Structure 1
Amino acid sequence: MKKLRLLLNFMQGYRLKYAASILATGLSALFSVIIPLVIKLSVDSIIGTKPITSSIMNRLVQLLGGREYLLENLWILGLVIILLTLFNGLFMYLKGKWSSQAAENIAKKFKDNLYETILRAKYNFYSKYQSGDIIQRCTSDVETIRNFLANQFVEIGRTIILLSLILIIMFSIDVKFAFVSTLIVPIIFVFALWFFTRVQQQFKKSDEAEAELSTVIQENITGVRVVKAFAREEFEIEKFAEKNRKYRDLTYNLIKLFANYWSFSDCLCMIQTALVVLVGSYFAATGKITLGTLIVFTSYEGMLLWPVRQMGRILSDMGKTIVSLTRINELLREEKEDLDEGIKDFKVAGNIEFKDVTFGFERDNPILKDVSFKIESGKTVALFGSTGSGKSTIISLLLRLYDYDVGSIKIDGVELREISKRFVRKIFGVVPQDAFLYSKTLRENIAITKPHASLEEIHGAAEIASVHDTILEFEDGYETLVGEKGITLSGGQRQRVTIARTVLNDYSVLVFDDSLSAVDTETELKIRRALKERSKETTTIIISHRITSVKDADLIIVMDKGKVTNIGNHEKLINEEGLYKKVWDIQSSIERDFENAV
């Protein structure tokens, strides 16, 4: 019921079009069932001498000139059949047009909502779902729903109307022959229901296997440098082949299920048709029914059996649609971030204070433990520590990607939880460790944080990031198109472009999350000097495990296993026992050994 409610909600605005489509289907069905009755009339009462018992048919004959006139002009009845066929075709066309238009719009609505959910979901959403699986739900699953709404949804109405009209007419003409004509129909219908339950299970397995396949493709396209750098092509090809084999086998099982259904239902339909022809011929030969009645029943038999067989297809597609709706609903139910709740604006100087902050994804396993420190406005502060010490988690908390429960974080004396997420993310300019670039020009990539920036501003930001001269060396300069994720650039070039992108905007706090690791020491020094000259009022936070990157900071916060172990400047820390002094001693020893070796 929840899936049906979801579908009905998305159909809002297009229900009238579906109603019109179902009406067109009903009229099409009506015209199609009238045609055999006109043939029966022609055979039994125009060419033959059987009295016309139906008042409607009697009026039609009188309207067309009477029995004698029609007997001399049988082409008129032929013309009536042609007109009925044309009307049938017209309404079938309208049904297809209106249902397709509605289905396309509903599919667009699904995609729009899914995309909005993906972008507005909480940060932990991306750790719950694989990217290939998300893509699968947004494309293949939406396409399954679109196909059902465009074709099978309206066919349900057509099937019900057609079956109702045919059964009413057949039983009104001859009850005994009608029973014979519908003898095997219940068996076909029960078989269709069984097929529905089986195909739903198989489709879910096949759909999930396709999602795994999409994930492997996406991962290898994204990580193609790693694959090639470590010569992992053969391993990844075999990994893909294994996933592909699994998908093929599951899909093959699905195809076998379809083949069994159609072949068995074909057999039942042929038996039913043969039964009608044999019994009908006997009844006609013995005078129990007229030749026209035999023609009507044999015509109706095809019309009757096809919709019943189609119920299997309709139900199987409905099963696929239910699976797809379930998978889509899982995404749409994900809680969205409220970006605007809280203080939306105040003057920010850049003072930051952590007080007794404890945080972890699991209560029994905290990443940060009683973290306390102060950062003064305009200062350059470094977070130093080994991998996994909690440095990046501090930045995640500052950006409100995650919210803390224990302790206090304040920006200029205002509790961070009381500030809206949208405003918080306008305060902080972050250069992430993973330098991500879009498949656009270098100019467009730099201008992402400030779309209407002038070329002079872009050049200025590139100069601060020490990448301006490098860009000018390219044939197309700032109009150089970089590959997806900046694959055509070196690691250092990508990082410097992301730095330029960040410093283009006027942020109160700049955060470099180990983002200078891919540039040489000399370039790193030039970037830091340029940043200092650019604005002495901007608070700068540098995250690194390299002493060369942090030693010139005004304040260095040393972290180890989620705790702050030492705080001070470089001179103070190299004279204090702790992680910083150990790393400094090791690096100094290596440098001395290298100098002696030279």
Structure 2
Amino acid sequence: MSTAPDNEGDDDPFEEQRADVDNAMVQLFDEYGRDHSFQAVVAVLASVFARVLDLAPPVLLGLAIDSVIQGNKAFLPFLPQSVVPSSKPDRLLFMGGLIAGSFLLGAAFHWIRNWGFNSFSQHIQHRVRTDTYDKMQRLNMDFFATKQTGEMMSILSNDVNRLERFLNDGLNSAFRLSVMVLAIGVYLFVVNWQLAVLTMLPVPIIALFTYRFVNAIQPKYADVRSSVGHLNSRLENNLGGIQVIKTSNTERYESDRVDDVSQGYFDANWGAITIRIKFFPALRIISGVGFVLTFVIGGIWVATGPPMFFSGTLDPGEFVTFILLSQQFIWPMAQFGQIINMYQRARASSERIFGLMNEPSRIEENPDADELVVDDGGVVYDDVRFGYDDDDAIVEHIDFQVDGGDTLALVGPTGAGKSTVLKLLLRMYDVDAGAVRVDGQDISGVTLPSLRRHVGYVSQDTFLFYGTVEENITYGTFDADREAVVDAAKAAEAHEFIQNLPDGYDTEVGERGVKLSGGQRQRIDIARAILKDPEILVLDEATSDVDTETEMLIQRSLDRLTEDRTTFSIAHRLSTIKDADQIVVLEDGEIVERGTHADLLGDEGLYANLWGVQAGEIDELPDEFIERAAKRQATVDDQDDD
């Protein structure tokens, strides 16, 4: 029995964003179509000429029958009689030349039309995807905590591609069919308005049928887009955790989970398909009825005269033209359902795209903000408070000062808020109250690029991009030369192992650096920070997941990196921060102790108890500390479950 993955219910993960979007397709054309209106206008005009020329052969054929074969009316009255040959054979050749010319000229306009629509759609697709990604990467970290990678990939890939298909194929077909229907309708009414009315009897029925189809299919496509996001999320999750799956022997379990979410996509898609496969055959039947009526009534009219209440004459050539054009008139009416089908898909996708792009960011940068100027690198937290919502504070009353060049260590139990405090310095989040200042400058009033240019970050969870070792070291400092890269690697204790790699600094590290060990990835990350040469450095448990020997090497490189820099360090291994100039102890989001290592051990408080845990003095710990630790752990587990 399989278990459904998290966030794989019937809800759309972007439902809240979609609900705030009005007239998504209008917004699409307004924001992105204007800059490429030239291609669109060229495509529309070329489409008009192309479709008119496509109608020329049946019209010429009908005129040829009446003027060349029967000789009962002037041939091509819209041309000067002086250019029309007098003999029937010459007229026939002349007509053939006109038909050939219409094909050649029509092909040229078809090419121009396709160029215009493809250029229009491709430019918009490119801009929408890049703008959506740019918006996505600038959102707050709490947004990414509630959305899965696969769901966001679905927007950047599937939804944007669906827009491109509508803008190219859908709009192309819409203009093509509109011109065809309008031109044929006008011509049929000019030739014989009575038979034209009969030919168009199915049009109101088709319009009503299409309206009902739109109302039925729209919610189905919303379900399909949601299920695609769930499917992508599950696949991305499983491929990212393939090692855990293999070592846990859970291939069958994960296959069942993929089967569940794939079944959800199948059900949603099949619901839309069942509506489509009923709609289009029904349209063809309705359209066919109109064609049969035209054929029967028109045939009787030519053979025996006007039937029933019809009056006037209908020549054979006119009837042939009527039959050929009416078929081209009725079938396009049915194809409008396909266009509406594509439109509804594109509309659902555009709502997800603009819903994401309209997502507000909690970090608002003043366009007139100043550049951060760092001299000493002194940092002050002035009674800072932060929470994901107004009611619950994650950290509060955070108040400390770090002089330039000093090291401050943040210590505390899991969930105490240590990482959150330092993310406020990087403005991953903005404070709700209080202020964070660097050399007296409130960081909320400086530009984000200048702030993050002066702050380096080394994380426990080292991320390496697919590429070479050198490309990962220079990430963020792209203009660095090889000599600077080597110097940074040497300072990070990484140069020796890099030289031993198959291609040295040009070695591909694989997806997320999978070809390297954890310690090697960590030292490359440190080399990246050294190359950046920031005035302020944040170390977030940089040595917690490596062995003792690797920790020694990393610690040596960190000592070089932190020299003469303002440094913030988070560490569970208290031995790595015992020499810090100041240690701040957090518990439940508040500062409970502060001082040097010796001072805090002498206070015999939380820090001293944490030190005792790592020293193996479990039996000597007070009962109160153990009870509070158990309660804290239970709270952390409950938050993880939520």
AA of the residue aligned to 1:135: M
1:475 equivalent to 2:502? Answer: yes
Cα deviation per residue 1:117-174 (whole Å; 9 max; x = unaligned)? 2233344442353221221111211111111121221332222222222222222222
TM superposition shift of 1:216: 1.5
TM superposition shift of 1:584: 2.0
Corresponding position of 2:451: 424
- Equivalent in 33, 46, 56 of residue 11 of structure 1: 33
Distance 1:464 1:100, change over 3 A: same
1:177 equivalent to 2:204? Answer: no
Which whole-Å CA distance do the structure 2 matches of 1:229 and 1:513 have between them? 28
Cα deviation per residue 1:382-409 (whole Å; 9 max; x = unaligned)? 1011111010011111111111132232
TM superposition shift of 1:339: 7.6
TM superposition shift of 1:561: 0.6
- Equivalent in 65, 74, 77 of residue 95 of structure 2: 77
TM superposition shift of 1:286: 1.2
- Equivalent in 509, 534, 542 of residue 536 of structure 2: 509
Cα deviation per residue 1:58-114 (whole Å; 9 max; x = unaligned)? 635542223xx1356523323322322333333223211221122112211212222
Corresponding position of 1:137: 155
1:325 equivalent to 2:343? Answer: no
Q: How do 1:336-415 and structure 2 match up within 5 A?
A: 338=365, 341-415=368-442
TM superposition shift of 1:472: 2.7
Which whole-Å CA distance do the structure 1 matches of 2:44 and 2:616 have between them? 83
Which whole-Å CA distance do the structure 2 matches of 1:529 and 1:49 have between them? 103
Asked if 1 retains the 8 angstrom alpha-carbon contact of 2:415 and 2:588, the reply is: yes
1:23 equivalent to 2:50? Answer: no
Unaligned ranges ≥5, structure 1: 594-598
Which whole-Å CA distance do the structure 1 matches of 2:156 and 2:131 have between them? 10
Distance 1:185 1:536, change over 3 A: closer
Which whole-Å CA distance do the structure 1 matches of 2:579 and 2:605 have between them? 19
TM superposition shift of 1:521: 3.9
1:269 equivalent to 2:296? Answer: no
AA of the residue aligned to 1:152: G
Asked if 1 retains the 8 angstrom alpha-carbon contact of 2:582 and 2:594, the reply is: yes
Distance 1:208 1:340, change over 3 A: same
- Equivalent in 582, 601, 623 of residue 574 of structure 1: 601
Asked if 2 retains the 8 angstrom alpha-carbon contact of 1:96 and 1:151, the reply is: no
Distance 1:39 1:345, change over 3 A: same
Which whole-Å CA distance do the structure 2 matches of 1:72 and 1:554 have between them? 104
Cα deviation per residue 1:321-348 (whole Å; 9 max; x = unaligned)? 1111111111222346538643314233
Asked if 2 retains the 8 angstrom alpha-carbon contact of 1:449 and 1:502, the reply is: no
Asked if 2 retains the 8 angstrom alpha-carbon contact of 1:464 and 1:527, the reply is: no
1:309 equivalent to 2:334? Answer: yes
TM superposition shift of 1:429: 0.7
Which whole-Å CA distance do the structure 2 matches of 1:535 and 1:129 have between them? 35
TM superposition shift of 1:560: 0.7
- Equivalent in 567, 578, 583 of residue 551 of structure 1: 578
- Equivalent in 261, 286, 296 of residue 278 of structure 1: 296
Corresponding position of 1:100: 118
Asked if 1 retains the 8 angstrom alpha-carbon contact of 2:366 and 2:445, the reply is: no
Cα deviation per residue 1:348-370 (whole Å; 9 max; x = unaligned)? 31222223222111222101121
TM superposition shift of 1:486: 0.8
Distance 1:47 1:374, change over 3 A: same
Asked if 2 retains the 8 angstrom alpha-carbon contact of 1:193 and 1:312, the reply is: no
AA of the residue aligned to 2:83: L
Distance 1:82 1:544, change over 3 A: same
TM superposition shift of 1:215: 1.3
Which whole-Å CA distance do the structure 2 matches of 1:556 and 1:221 have between them? 40
- Equivalent in 289, 292, 298 of residue 323 of structure 2: 298
Asked if 2 retains the 8 angstrom alpha-carbon contact of 1:3 and 1:325, the reply is: yes
Asked if 1 retains the 8 angstrom alpha-carbon contact of 2:220 and 2:271, the reply is: yes
Corresponding position of 1:452: 479
Which whole-Å CA distance do the structure 2 matches of 1:491 and 1:591 have between them? 30
Which whole-Å CA distance do the structure 1 matches of 2:560 and 2:457 have between them? 19
Distance 1:59 1:568, change over 3 A: closer
Asked if 2 retains the 8 angstrom alpha-carbon contact of 1:125 and 1:334, the reply is: no
1:161 equivalent to 2:179? Answer: yes
TM superposition shift of 1:559: 0.7
1:214 equivalent to 2:236? Answer: no
Which sits farther off after the overlay, 166-175 or 72-81? 72-81
- Equivalent in 244, 250, 256 of residue 274 of structure 2: 256
Cα deviation per residue 1:408-440 (whole Å; 9 max; x = unaligned)? 322223323233222221221110221000111
1:437 equivalent to 2:459? Answer: no
Which whole-Å CA distance do the structure 1 matches of 2:53 and 2:237 have between them? 55
TM superposition shift of 1:225: 3.2
AA of the residue aligned to 1:89: A
AA of the residue aligned to 2:597: H
Distance 1:456 1:291, change over 3 A: closer
Corresponding position of 1:596: none
Corresponding position of 2:632: none
Q: Counterpart of 1:13 in 2: which secondary structure? A: helix
Cα deviation per residue 1:241-289 (whole Å; 9 max; x = unaligned)? 2111111222222222222122111222222222111111111111332
Q: Counterpart of 1:453 in 2: which secondary structure? A: coil
Cα deviation per residue 1:503-562 (whole Å; 9 max; x = unaligned)? 222211111101111233454345444444566421121101222222222221111110
Q: Counterpart of 1:362 in 2: which secondary structure? A: coil
Distance 1:582 1:74, change over 3 A: same
AA of the residue aligned to 2:265: Y
Q: TM-score with structure 1 length normalisation?
A: 0.92
Which sits farther off after the overlay, 126-135 or 367-376? 126-135
TM superposition shift of 1:491: 1.9
Which whole-Å CA distance do the structure 1 matches of 2:332 and 2:105 have between them? 20
Corresponding position of 1:118: 136
1:109 equivalent to 2:146? Answer: no
AA of the residue aligned to 1:423: S
Distance 1:235 1:61, change over 3 A: farther
Which whole-Å CA distance do the structure 2 matches of 1:138 and 1:130 have between them? 13
Which sits farther off after the overlay, 152-161 or 239-248? 152-161
Unaligned ranges ≥5, structure 2: 1-22, 307-313, 621-642
Distance 1:435 1:533, change over 3 A: closer
Distance 1:413 1:31, change over 3 A: closer
Q: Counterpart of 2:389 in 1: which secondary structure? A: coil
AA of the residue aligned to 2:54: S
What RMSD over aligned residues (CA atoms) do the two structures have, in Å?
2.4
Which whole-Å CA distance do the structure 2 matches of 1:84 and 1:458 have between them? 66
Structure 1 vs Structure 2: percent identity of aligned residues? Answer: 28
Which whole-Å CA distance do the structure 1 matches of 2:593 and 2:513 have between them? 38
Distance 1:44 1:431, change over 3 A: same
Which whole-Å CA distance do the structure 2 matches of 1:510 and 1:135 have between them? 32
Distance 1:189 1:46, change over 3 A: same
Which whole-Å CA distance do the structure 2 matches of 1:278 and 1:108 have between them? 51
Which whole-Å CA distance do the structure 1 matches of 2:409 and 2:377 have between them? 15
AA of the residue aligned to 1:16: F
Cα deviation per residue 1:7-54 (whole Å; 9 max; x = unaligned)? 2321123212222221122112222333333222222233214334x9
AA of the residue aligned to 1:82: A
Distance 1:523 1:559, change over 3 A: same
Distance 1:453 1:316, change over 3 A: same
Asked if 1 retains the 8 angstrom alpha-carbon contact of 2:585 and 2:593, the reply is: yes
Asked if 1 retains the 8 angstrom alpha-carbon contact of 2:579 and 2:597, the reply is: yes
Asked if 1 retains the 8 angstrom alpha-carbon contact of 2:411 and 2:571, the reply is: yes
